[in-house]
């Protein structure tokens, strides 16, 4: 179950998220989404849960210059970080809740969401909102992380933190980002929202960083895991312990691990 603090991206988290986590795990899938959408004829795209804009920037580069992009996120701090990164074309950045989108019915021919739906408290309702703002035949394209066991670095950090805090291990990453990994459940929720015949594809990629410490900083300090860690003890110690665990498994210097996600494509009736 998603907890309230799982959705809090504030303080230095947006900057560290952009600097450390985006190149580590989000960039490969942002490029994947952009390539998929570039094959379709679209004119007006809505991105929900845009975070710091990694997909937004990929779409900006991949789509024709005439395409309008509206990028939204629940967290104003994430939107501000995204806006500061810049884009070639004008992008409409807007704070918005995916559970209640402030747009008219049929306003877009594409809705995109990268690794955001796991945070939605009512996924069927959020999917219904995406369907509502789509024009007939419009496409809803989103991805979700597979099991944490299939994502090397996140899994190693999870176990390192469990050893550091054995009485109350922080489980944000397993609970929320990797907590919506059952393809059957995703299929059922998408259909319950009024879509039909979703295509769900499992896509593996590589996660690469200059060092184990870069990975540890990304996960421990650039996500809401940080709040859970700080509530239990030293953030610096947790980062060191996590870095050591990553180095023990993947070696010193440049590290390379597997990441895996499900990519969902479905068209509005």
Output the domain CATH number for residue 31. Answer: 3.40.50.150
DSSP for 82-139 reads HHHH--SS--EEEE--TTS--S-TT-EEEEEEES-GGG-SSHHHHHHHHHHHEEEEEE
Give the C-alpha distances (Å, rounded to integers) separating 188 from 123, 165, 183, 193: 11, 36, 9, 9
Encoded tokens for 152: 């090397």
pLDDT tens track, the chain, 269 positions = 555 554 445 466 778 889 999 999 999 999 999 999 999 999 999 999 999 999 999 999 999 999 999 999 999 999 999 999 999 999 999 999 999 999 999 999 999 999 999 999 999 999 999 999 999 999 999 999 999 999 999 999 999 999 999 999 999 999 999 999 999 999 999 999 999 999 999 999 999 999 999 999 999 999 989 999 999 999 999 999 999 999 999 999 999 999 999 999 999 99
Give me the number of domains the chain comprises.
Answer: 1
In the block, residue with structure tokens 């994947």: 32
CA distance 156 to 111: 33
265 membership: H or E segment, kind and range: strand 255-267
Model-level pTM? Answer: 0.94
CA distance 206 to 255: 10
Structural domain including 191 reads 4-267
Alpha helices in 195-261 (DSSP H): 212-221, 225-232, 235-250
């Amino acid at each position: 179950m998603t907890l309230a603090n799982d959705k809090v991206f504030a303080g230095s988290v947006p900057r560290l998220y952009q600097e450390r986590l985006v190149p580590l795990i989000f960039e490969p899938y942002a490029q994947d989404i952009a390539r998929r959408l570039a094959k379709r004829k679209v004119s007006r795209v809505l991105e929900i849960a845009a975070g710091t804009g990694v997909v937004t920037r990929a779409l900006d580069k991949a789509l024709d210059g005439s395409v309008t992009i509206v990028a939204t996120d629940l967290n104003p701090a994430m939107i501000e970080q995204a806006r500061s990164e810049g884009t070639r074309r004008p992008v409409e950045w807007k704070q918005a809740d995916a559970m209640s989108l402030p747009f008219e019915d049929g306003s877009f021919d594409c809705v995109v969401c990268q690794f955001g739906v796991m945070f939605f408290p009512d996924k069927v309702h959020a999917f219904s909102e995406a369907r509502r703002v789509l024009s007939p035949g419009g496409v809803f394209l989103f991805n979700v992380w597979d099991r944490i066991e299939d994502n090397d670095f996140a899994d190693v950090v999870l176990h390192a933190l469990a050893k550091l805090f054995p009485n109350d291990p922080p489980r944000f990453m397993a609970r929320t980002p990797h907590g919506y990994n059952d393809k059957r459940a995703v299929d059922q929720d998408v259909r319950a929202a009024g879509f039909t015949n979703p295509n769900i594809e499992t896509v593996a990629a590589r996660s690469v960083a200059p060092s184990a410490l870069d990975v540890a900083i990304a996960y421990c300090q650039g996500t809401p895991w940080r709040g859970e860690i700080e509530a239990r003890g030293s953030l610096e110690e947790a980062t060191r312990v996590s870095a050591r665990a990553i180095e023990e498994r993947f070696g010193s210097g440049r590290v390379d691990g597997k990441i895996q996600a499900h990519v969902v494509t479905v068209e509005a009736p």
